[in-house]
């Protein structure tokens, strides 16, 4: 009898990550079904209190699944998905998986099929390995982020020490992806960061370190960091007002024709580089693959020097990848390449 040639499951998942999404959602649905059919006092993850906002429903869903043992998942983001549903994205085994939950927190909906065609984002530009980066005497290093994307905050926590170590041997710019996936709070925070970048650049790294170390990146925490690092708030507010007009911020936030409001401060560069997610590293005009620890970012920048300065070999920075999200408490596997986008 001819031996059947079977492709290992892990190889199939690598070739088609949607297999993993389907398997994980099937398991979640099975757990959900067992619990909801055996509970008489409450229903599924609605047993958790306060099911009102997208974030609350999303976190309750994650807590519910994790409380049942087995593979653990993390909440990446939760947002409105029309009048009846929230879309909750979870991280499972390094993969982002969407789930759709009714707004009362009682039902997991599997297999959403859109009946209205949405324009898909174009394929991201290919990222160059370090050896293919364009060389220059003073490399231009740009990190494109969304301020509340957990992977964007992870990248910022990694790159700030590298930028401090390299100092004025490089030109560093924090850039913003031209759409926001985390609501008005993200857009408003990015406006503050933009104005600090443009008018009070000497405060930017200090501000980022403070903001990234906050509990949730709330508006109040951001304002506290402005005071802590000595940002001139009158100057900042004047800049933000002008930028709101220049980039149609309020108009874009009010536009309900798109799920994700436009963020236009760095729109031209987004289009030039083909930016399609947060974080994206660009060195001398080329997208570059890099780990998210300080040492990897330092190496990526140092690979772009025409003549590599001595400090590239002597600078002491961490090779531990920061965890996604806010706070400095934990580290994460350095190979992570997940994005918001």
The domain that holds 73 is classified in CATH as 3.10.450.520
Q: Encoding tokens for residue 89?
A: 């994205």
In a shared domain, residues 58 and 170? no
Compute, in degrees rounded to 10, the torsion defined by CA atoms 125, 325, 88, 74: 110
Q: Give residue for tokens 């200090």.
A: 206
In a shared domain, residues 247 and 315? yes
What pLDDT does residue 40 have? 37
What pLDDT does residue 111 have? 53
What pLDDT does residue 293 have? 95
Whether omega before 279 lies within 30 degrees of 0, making that bond cis, reads yes
Q: Is residue 118 part of a domain?
A: no
Q: Is residue 189 part of a domain?
A: yes
In a shared domain, residues 135 and 104? no
In a shared domain, residues 39 and 76? yes
CATH of the domain at 305: 3.40.30.10
199 in Cβ contact with 236 (< 8 Å): yes
Q: Give residue for tokens 């003549």.
A: 307
What strands, in cross-sheet order, belong to the sheet with 140-145? 171-176, 140-145, 280-283, 286-288
What pLDDT does residue 97 have? 78
For the chain, what's the residue count? 341
- Which of 52, 74, 109 delimits the end of a domain? 109
Angle of the 183-199 helix axis to the 219-229 helix axis, nearest 10: 20
In a shared domain, residues 227 and 165? yes
Cα–Cα distance measured from residue 36 to residue 242, given in angstroms and rounded to the nearest whole number: 52
Q: Is residue 88 part of a domain?
A: yes
In a shared domain, residues 95 and 138? no
Q: Is residue 171 part of a domain?
A: yes
Q: Is residue 96 part of a domain?
A: yes
Neighbours of 55 (CB within 10 A): 17
Give the tens place of pLDDT for each residue, 9-27.
444 444 444 444 554 555 5
Residues near 46 by beta carbon (within 8 Å), at least 6 away in sequence: 60, 104, 105, 106
The C-alpha angle 51, 54, 55, rounded to 5 degrees, equals: 90
In a shared domain, residues 86 and 150? no
What pLDDT does residue 264 have? 97
In a shared domain, residues 158 and 294? yes
Residues near 127 by beta carbon (within 8 Å), at least 6 away in sequence: 287, 288, 289
What pLDDT does residue 37 have? 37
- Which of 48, 79, 109 delimits the end of a domain? 109
Q: Is residue 229 part of a domain?
A: yes
β-strand 171-176 against 280-283: which pairing, if any? unpaired
In a shared domain, residues 98 and 136? no
In a shared domain, residues 195 and 136? yes
In a shared domain, residues 70 and 217? no
Residues of the chain with pLDDT under 70: 1-52, 70-71, 81-84, 93-96, 109-131, 332-336
What pLDDT does residue 39 have? 39
Please count the structural domains in the chain.
Answer: 2
Q: Is residue 123 part of a domain?
A: no
What pLDDT does residue 28 have? 53
Give the structural domain span for 313: 130-332
Q: Is residue 166 part of a domain?
A: yes
Please name the residue ranges forming H helices in the chain: 9-15, 18-38, 54-66, 150-166, 183-199, 204-212, 219-229, 233-246, 249-254, 267-273, 294-302, 311-314
In a shared domain, residues 139 and 271? yes
- Which of 47, 80, 109 delimits the end of a domain? 109
């Amino acid at each position: 009898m001819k031996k059947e040639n079977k492709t290992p499951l892990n190889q199939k998942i690598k070739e088609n990550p949607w297999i993993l999404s389907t398997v994980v959602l099937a398991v979640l649905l099975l757990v959900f079904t067992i619990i909801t059919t055996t509970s008489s006092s409450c229903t599924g993850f609605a047993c958790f209190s306060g099911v009102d906002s997208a974030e609350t429903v999303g976190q309750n869903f994650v807590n519910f699944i994790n409380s049942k043992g087995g593979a653990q998942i993390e909440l990446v983001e939760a947002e409105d998905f029309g009048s009846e549903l929230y879309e909750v994205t979870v991280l499972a085994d390094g993969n982002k998986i969407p789930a759709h939950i009714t707004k009362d927190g009682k039902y997991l909906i599997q297999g959403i099929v859109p009946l209205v065609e949405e324009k898909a984002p174009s394929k991201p530009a290919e990222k160059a390995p370090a050896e293919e980066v364009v060389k220059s005497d003073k490399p231009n290093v740009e990190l494109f982020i969304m301020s509340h994307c957990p992977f964007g905050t992870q990248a910022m926590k990694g790159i700030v020490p590298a930028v401090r170590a390299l100092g004025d041997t490089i030109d560093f710019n924090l850039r913003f992806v031209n759409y926001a996936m985390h609501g008005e709070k993200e857009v408003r925070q990015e406006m503050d960061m933009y104005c600090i970048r443009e008018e009070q650049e000497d405060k930017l790294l200090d501000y980022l370190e403070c903001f990234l170390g906050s509990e949730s990146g709330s508006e109040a925490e951001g304002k506290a960091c402005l005071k802590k690092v000595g940002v001139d708030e009158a100057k900042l507010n004047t800049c933000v007002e002008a930028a709101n007009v220049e980039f149609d911020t309020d108009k874009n936030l009010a536009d309900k024709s798109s799920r994700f409001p436009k963020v236009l401060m760095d729109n031209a560069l987004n289009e030039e580089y083909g930016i399609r997610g947060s974080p994206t590293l660009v060195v001398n005009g080329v997208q570059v693959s890099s780990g998210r620890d300080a040492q990897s970012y330092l190496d990526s920048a140092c690979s772009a020097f025409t003549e590599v300065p001595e400090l590239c070999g002597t600078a002491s920075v961490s090779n531990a990848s920061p965890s996604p999200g806010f706070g400095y408490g934990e580290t994460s596997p350095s190979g992570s390449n997940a994005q918001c986008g």
